[in-house]
Structure 1
Amino acid sequence: MAELQKDFLFVLIKSLTTSEKRQFKLYVNRLGINVDAKFLLLFSEMDKMKEYDEHLIIDKKISTKQQLSNLKAHLYKQILVSLRMNPSHQNYRIQLREQLDFANILYQKGLYKQALKILDKTKQTALELDEKTIASEIIDLEKVIESQFITRSIAGRADELIKQSSEISRQNRYTIKLSNLSLKLYSEMLTHGYVKDDEGRQKVLELFNAQIKNIRLQALNFTEKLWYYKAHVWKNQLLQEYKYTLKYAYQWVELFHQNPEMIMSHPVWYIKGNTYLLKILFMYGNIDMLEKQLHDFNTTVYSQNFAQNENLQSLIFLTHYNALMNIHFIKGEFFTGTKLIPEIELKMEKLRDKIDEHHFMIFYLKMAAMLFGSKKYQESIHYSMRILESKGNVQGDLLFHTRILILMAKHESGNDEDYDEFIKSTSKFAQKMKQPDEFHFESILFFKNLNNLVLHKRQQAFEIFDKKLEAFSANEYYRRSLFYIDIHGWVQSKVQHVDVIEIIKGKVKYKRRR
């Protein structure tokens, strides 16, 4: 995210659409007294700014320095209230909570029958949508009201509420247990990365099995199954067991297809499930299934019925274009793939405030790799350097493989002015990595020696390194390293004296039948 946009209120105002700004002004001006309200003046001034400037606000006497913090907090709240009323931001959760609020108001006025009628209807909707937390809150209020409003059916109602409350409590225990496990596994992946040895593998298995052993899939409802599949996807990703990652990612997506009404209820998790499924199909080189799955995904998310908001648009963008570029990689269509770069960069700029830096860097690496495959080596280095020069928190493995791609491009282009210096800096970088391994140091050693060899000796060096990479690819803990940049395919192309595109096409496991 751009440095100049750290102020939360400024970022929120800049995220508003023209219609949202218009609605906000109508909302605050609904009473004439707000026309000259200071918070509205602050809104107008910040809306004009290209960069947040607190001194300008004070100089224009919109607020004193002492009052500005409170004024900004009030404006922030008013914008959120206005957005909550906007139909484009209405969803079933907000609507359910609104009905619960209405029931609370009626209860406080002593209108018990009216409150119970709203609660009963809202509870049925919440249960149908598998929103157990809201349903639990509704039942709690029903209990309070029933204990004060005596009816002839209180005995039957009491039994019904007790049964519903107990069932939801049981289901919530499963949900909490599975969601905690999923979050812990996801945290492990982000913090420590994929397992690199038997000790790490055992740690993940112990964590997983301790939580999952008493849970039967057949007894779970939609939300619990969703968390169950998520936990399995993240566990198998950590263990680099891609066969099972594919299995559970497919079941994750299929769960939504079996319950299509839940796609509208949980659009983020529908997109995320497809993200993992499309990524693992790319790693398998399954072009037929990858293209079909992307087509099905696009048909759903670009339909009129699919929810639309800024968050979903950014997630759809990431999933769609990552998969599209991966398809070009599998087919070896580098020249065609480079044509996507201007389009992707334009969308990246529009969504800059909605997407974290890491995802941007992934795109830059794919662009650099696509340009390398198109033999545009200087442009490949240019995009690679964007990653190395990033001030964001970029994963160590991503940075290392970017450096490897730069070395490949320097070798191919013959641009070796700072080759030795770059090797030295890459070696220092590897030594500072959290968990550097043999692959990292063998790769550095290969490139270090390569530039000093005569032509026939270089061929021999490629052949020796090819055998080492074969050994790495056979080791389950090194597999992941070879997915970032296809250094093995590049080395094989040198050994076999063919274009790297031919090597890549030969790796596709499931080719389209003609």
Structure 2
Amino acid sequence: MNKIDTLANHQNDALFVLIKSLTKSEKRQFNLYVGRLGGNIDAKFFSLFKFLEKLKTYDEKVIIKSGIVSKQQLSNLKAHLYKQILISLRLNPAHKNIRIQIREQLDFATVLYQKGLYKQSLKLLDKAKHLALENEEKNIAYEIVELEKVIETQYITRSLSNRADTLSMQAKTLSQQNVVASKLSNLSLQLYSHLLQNGYVKNNEELEFVNAYFYSKIPEYHFEELGFREKLWLYKSHLWFSFLTQDFLHSYKYANKWVDLFKEDKKHISQHPVFYLKGKNYLLEALFFVKKIDTFKQVLHSFEEEIEQNIIPLNTNTELLIFQYLYANKLHLHFLQGSFSEGEYLVEIINEKIKKYKNRLDNHYIVMLYYKIACLYFGMGKNEICISYLQKIIKSKNLSSAEDLQCFARVLNLIAHYECGLDYDLERQFLDTYKFLLKMENLQEVQKVFLNSIRDLSDVFPHEIKNEFKKIYKKLKKFENHPYEKRAFLYLDILSWLESKIKNKPIALIIKEKINKDIKK
């Protein structure tokens, strides 16, 4: 079993993952919380907590052997412990976000209503409603209005003469806004799901399907009536649509709108830090695709400043996302600049953080980082290290959603073997790669041309090799701006590698020369 598959097993138990995600302060609070429960300090669930806290790898046999709980009782005890940890976390001030605060007020108002204290309940509901509306929590606001209507229709409070009309209008407005938001969020989710499952559009038929789906599902709206969350879902929908259709300039446009939405009212950054982080990442990704190096550097620099200045709230969730997005884009900057050697220091940091977050990191993201590291070493000319990272991806069994990544890892693996002069292994590598690609239903023309060309190199005399590279380059160059084939070059800069072979220069130097050429234009 390889390292990535082992990591997957560590993640299987929800309780174990939850305990391992707790910070020192959260563990301390849980100890205090259990202490306040009186006699429960010696309860079995607390003993299980302390045992799992020290355990490095989840193993039910080890737990049962400890004598804390029998095999028959383990499932129920785990469920009870899980619930108690969640209650403790909910009481933690660090987790008191605005939605929890509003929900809490709604719960209190419901209790007062059930006790027959109607005016007190309505007063609390009114405060909660204003807080919800101020913070764009319109679903909760609608729930509050509906409860207000229940109280007003069942009991004569005489609070306001036009109360019924006011509540009816509020309910109608909120309902309409929630319908628009729901339709936009549904569209965004479906497009994102399609992108994950199918990748970019690959032909006219797929393009027509995505176009038809997008324009038939986007709801009618008046932009000036949209609030923060409606605009956010609108920009997300356009972003996924532009990624699917490989219109990366529009990806940049809508990712930028997404981030600017938070800058218009910075309280949203602290309230929705995950959405903000994702927006920043997609903005950087779009800039990477359109190769706007100066803007990329500016956005990355501002991102680092925001992290250092704690503008983005830090919790176990945002900490993980910051690692993923910051270091992936730091690597991207070195790819854009051709400064591969200068980026090698990142590898040790990334590997340490993968080890630190192993129980919470998605396998797909781990192998994405491995692929980027492999590309870094390939750019440095350290092909054997490059191959070692690619093998981590190729041997992984849990990557059904990462077919493109598996494909290009194999293609790069083939090139790296060629560069190393491992001729004895090249034919086997070629056959393995070709077999894998044949299983893919969406094998690209770029991949077919490149693989056949690389295989033919084995029969070429040394003095003819440069001319063969020129022929391959000419065949592939015509796909560089092809609407469906260009995606191949997003994963692997094959053209720069071919130029490096033709001109007998390091690939890093070729990329830097291209940058200087673009600057002079």
**2:123 match: secondary structure:** helix
Aligned residues: 513
Specify the alignment match of 1:245 in structure 2: 251
Q: 1:85-131 deviations in whole A, cap 9, x for unaligned?
A: 11222211111111111111111111112211111111111101100
- Distance, in Å, in 2 between the alignment partners of 1:306 and 1:270 is 8
Distance verdict in 2 for CA 1:497–1:104, change over 3 Å: same
Specify the alignment match of 2:513 in structure 1: 506
- Distance, in Å, in 2 between the alignment partners of 1:501 and 1:41 is 56
Specify the alignment match of 1:418 in structure 2: 425
**Mapping of residues 228-307 of structure 1, within 5 Å:** 228-307=234-313
**1:473 match: secondary structure:** coil
- Distance, in Å, in 1 between the alignment partners of 2:153 and 2:28 is 46
Matched, 1:475 2:475: no
- Deviation of 1:509 after TM superposition, in Å, equals 8.3
- Deviation of 1:408 after TM superposition, in Å, equals 1.8
- Distance, in Å, in 2 between the alignment partners of 1:318 and 1:156 is 53
More deviation in 479-488 or 145-154? 145-154
Maintained 8 Å contact 1:287/1:510: no
Specify the alignment match of 1:109 in structure 2: 115
**Mapping of residues 75-474 of structure 1, within 5 Å:** 75-212=81-218, 214-393=220-399, 395-474=402-481
- Deviation of 1:434 after TM superposition, in Å, equals 2.9
Between the aligned residues of both structures, percent identity stands at 45
Q: 1:185-224 deviations in whole A, cap 9, x for unaligned?
A: 0111111111000000000000000022623433321111
**1:472 match: secondary structure:** coil
Question: Which stretches in structure 1 are left out of the alignment for 5+ residues?
Answer: none
- Deviation of 1:288 after TM superposition, in Å, equals 1.0
- Distance, in Å, in 2 between the alignment partners of 1:512 and 1:27 is 61
Q: 1:62-100 deviations in whole A, cap 9, x for unaligned?
A: 222222211111111001111111122221111111111
Question: Which consecutive segments of 4 or more residues in structure 1 shift more than 6 A?
Answer: 509-513
Aligned with 1:15 (options 11, 21, 26): 21
* Residue type of the alignment partner of 1:402: A
**2:202 match: secondary structure:** coil
* Residue type of the alignment partner of 2:217: Q
- Distance, in Å, in 1 between the alignment partners of 2:282 and 2:470 is 35
**1:418 match: secondary structure:** helix
- Deviation of 1:499 after TM superposition, in Å, equals 2.6
- Distance, in Å, in 2 between the alignment partners of 1:349 and 1:265 is 29
* Residue type of the alignment partner of 2:151: I
More deviation in 394-403 or 47-56? 47-56
- Distance, in Å, in 1 between the alignment partners of 2:286 and 2:417 is 31
- Distance, in Å, in 1 between the alignment partners of 2:370 and 2:146 is 51
Q: 1:262-289 deviations in whole A, cap 9, x for unaligned?
A: 1122111111111111011111221110
Q: 1:351-394 deviations in whole A, cap 9, x for unaligned?
A: 22222111111111111111111111111111111111122215
Distance verdict in 2 for CA 1:22–1:422, change over 3 Å: same
- Deviation of 1:156 after TM superposition, in Å, equals 1.4
- With the length of structure 2 as denominator, give the TM-score of the two structures: 0.95
- Distance, in Å, in 2 between the alignment partners of 1:510 and 1:356 is 39
Maintained 8 Å contact 1:285/1:509: no
More deviation in 149-158 or 131-140? 149-158
- Deviation of 1:260 after TM superposition, in Å, equals 1.5
- Distance, in Å, in 2 between the alignment partners of 1:217 and 1:163 is 21
- Distance, in Å, in 2 between the alignment partners of 1:278 and 1:138 is 39
Maintained 8 Å contact 2:373/2:389: yes
Specify the alignment match of 1:67 in structure 2: 73
Distance verdict in 2 for CA 1:2–1:34, change over 3 Å: same
Q: 1:224-270 deviations in whole A, cap 9, x for unaligned?
A: 11111100010010000111111111111111111222112211111
**1:29 match: secondary structure:** helix
- Distance, in Å, in 1 between the alignment partners of 2:122 and 2:52 is 45
* Residue type of the alignment partner of 2:140: I
Q: 1:401-430 deviations in whole A, cap 9, x for unaligned?
A: 111212222222212231100100101000
- With the length of structure 1 as denominator, give the TM-score of the two structures: 0.96
